Each structure stands twice: as C-alpha cells, then as structure tokens.
Copies of this chain bind each other. A is one copy, B any other.
C-alpha cells in the first residue's frame, strides 16, 4: 500500500469546525471550499502543495470544472503558470482536436466526458493536477488519462479533501501516482462527526 499523505492541520481544523456531515457520507464544506470559497485558505493550501511536490519545471496546473477551479487557480497563480481546466460537456465554443476521457460522475449520477483541447497540452508539458475532492476518483482518473494521451509528464495530484473510506485515492496511488491529500477523512457520521486519518 502506497504511503498516504499527512493531514494539513489548518484545513482539518476548518473542516472540523465548519464542515457538516449529511446522510449518505456527504461532507458539506460549501461555506469555504466549493460554493462560497475562502480564497485565503485556497492560497494556504496552494503553498502547502508547493512544499509537498517538486514543482521544478511545471508548465501547467490542471483541474476539472467547476469546483476544482478556485483551488487550482490559486496554485497556478502561486506557481506562475497557466491553469488548464477540463470541460465536462461539448459546448459550441470547443472545436475539434480534443483529448477525451469518459468518467462516471457520482455527484450527477451519469457518465460525463472530460474534454481538453489538444492545442493547450502536449508532450512538452509537465503537469500538476489539483482538485478539491477525491472520493471515487473518477474525475482525477479521467485527468490522468488525458495527461497520458498527450504524452505530458505528470508530477502528481494534489487534493484538498480525500474521502479515505472510498476507493479513489487508493486506486490512484496503486496506479503509481504521487497523491497528496491535505485532509483524509476516514469516517464521517452525522452524529459522531468527522474522523481524520492522522
């Protein structure tokens, strides 16, 4: 079993204080992560990622729309490289020439296709993937697939909150990826609250 990453105390404290557990293992952090977003916190998490990954030569931060964008944009700004976010459906504004990956969205209970223009990702790129949540890991698996299609180098995957009781994190680590989750939740119970891995 690959080494799990260590919890980042300021994030864990914030989750303990303001996060809520809803039936169905839903962890609600929409007051500071994925609806109202505390950008100061996002930049703190960003700096923690930059301590944990060797970002030398990184050319691109990648994420998936929509909830990953705020955190990933903080990391891209702090690194001084562009952000590239995969889109989830074909709109008129994306033409041909696309990297694609089919994933299952458990939030929306349907298959969605991740799309990235071939114009903005190539084998010259060195990529850091960032997302707010890791549960089943489908969005991140899709992103790693797209990075692999492009021939770009993947430095690692930085995640704010991992649901450690769901298999996504383990699958990505077993696939050989360097995954850093700043808070790994091992149990979430509406009555007993949230238990972190360390």
Distance in angstroms between the alpha carbons of A22 and B96 in the assembled complex: 13
Chain A: residues with Cβ within 8 Å of the partner, total of 45
A 9-43 contacts with B by CB, 8 A: 22, 24, 26, 28, 30-32, 34-40, 42-43
CA distance A32 to B85 in the complex (A): 11
A77 to B35, Cβ gap below 8 A?
A: no
Q: How far is the CA of A38 from the CA of B69 in the complex (A)?
A: 13
Chain B residues within an 8 Å CB radius of A82: 32, 36-39
List B contacts of A107 (CB < 8 A).
91-93
A36 partner, pick from B22, B83, B108, beta carbons under 8 A: B83
- Counting CB contacts under 8 A, is A2 at the interface? no
* Distance, CA A40 to CA B30, complexed state (A): 27
Not counting A37-B83, A39-B82, a sample of 15 additional A-B residue pairs whose C-beta atoms are within 8 angstroms of each other reads A28-B93, A30-B93, A30-B94, A36-B117, A37-B85, A38-B82, A39-B81, A39-B83, A42-B77, A43-B77, A65-B66, A65-B67, A66-B87, A91-B107, A93-B107
List 14 A–B pairs whose Cβ atoms lie within 8 Å, in order of A's numbering.
A22-B95, A24-B92, A26-B93, A30-B93, A30-B117, A35-B120, A37-B73, A37-B83, A42-B77, A65-B69, A69-B69, A70-B85, A77-B77, A91-B107
